[in-house]
Amino acid sequence: MALVLLTDSKTHHILLQKIDLLKIALTIAEATACIVGFRYWKKLKDTYWKFFPVYLACILAAELLGRYLGYKKLYTANLALYNYFVIPLEILFFISLFYRTFSTRSLKRLSIIVAFIYMACWFSEMFLLPKVSSFWVGALSYTVGIVTLLVLILSYLFKLSSSDEIVFIKHNMMFWVCMGLFVFYAFSLPFYGMYNYLYKHHYNFYLTYSNIIFFLNYIMYGLFTLAFIWGKPKSSFS
């Protein structure tokens, strides 16, 4: 029995070490996307896309701060950083990106509506509803935010597929960003939506899927990097 426990704890330790490596790789992926964004600043500076590398820099800084807080075992502060800053910034930034990209009034209105829905959920969850868990509070608002983002992504892709702009898809920045967001959010939503449950009842499964989430993140930041390299932000559509 003791041996089994020892093996389990050893495996757990290896898993955590592996996650540390994956975290470093994630930071590198984020930094690459951010640096490439600033590298192509010239073509972005006169469009709303100039905020994208700035956003990536903010996310990178927040992630590094989060890593530091985790290292110092300040878990509550780390949680607050994500719940009150990183996640709302992520979701609202992308909603605003869609708002600027959409050319029709109905889709612009849809972006505003989903932004309000998300903010209402976030506000009620953070300040009104009783706290469900001590380590992951924002599961509801996060789920709502991601679902709304997925609605915007699908609306954009549907509109793109029916327009002639699909011919120049390679140079369409929003297309690459959408693909990145879809890959990450659609596959991570079930995980984050059931985060509390998986953490409590299926810890090993939670750890395995965490690895997958890292790879989804790499794909997303890789696609953001491609958007900066191939994209032509002054084209009529994006």
List the one residue from 13, 202, 232, 234 that touches other proteins (CB under 8 A).
202
Cβ at position 19, least distance to other proteins in Å: 20
List the one residue from 190, 204, 211, 232 that touches other proteins (CB under 8 A).
190
Contact yes or no for 178/157 (Cβ under 8 A): yes
Sequence-distant (≥ 6) Cβ neighbours of residue 233 within 8 angstroms: 43, 44, 47, 49, 173
Contacts of range 123-130, beta carbons closer than 8 Å, 24 or more positions apart: 126/83, 126/84
List the one residue from 201, 203, 204, 211 that touches other proteins (CB under 8 A).
201
For residues 2 and 236, which CB has a smaller minimum distance to other proteins in the complex? 236
How many C-beta atoms surround the C-beta of residue 69 within 10 A? 18
Tell whether residue 132 is a contact of other proteins (CB under 8 A).
Answer: no
| Interface pattern 146-165 for other proteins (x via CB under 8 A) | --------x--x--xxx-x-
For residues 57 and 166, which CB has a smaller minimum distance to other proteins in the complex? 166
Q: Nearest Cα to 237, choosing from 148, 186, 162, 151?
A: 162
| Site size with other proteins, rule: CB under 8 A | 23
Q: Nearest Cα to 148, choosing from 175, 106, 113?
A: 113
List the one residue from 79, 151, 183, 219 that touches other proteins (CB under 8 A).
183
Structure tokens given for 20: 């540390």
Binding site for other proteins (CB under 8 A): 154, 157, 160-162, 164, 166-167, 169, 182-183, 186-187, 189-191, 193-194, 197-198, 201-202, 205
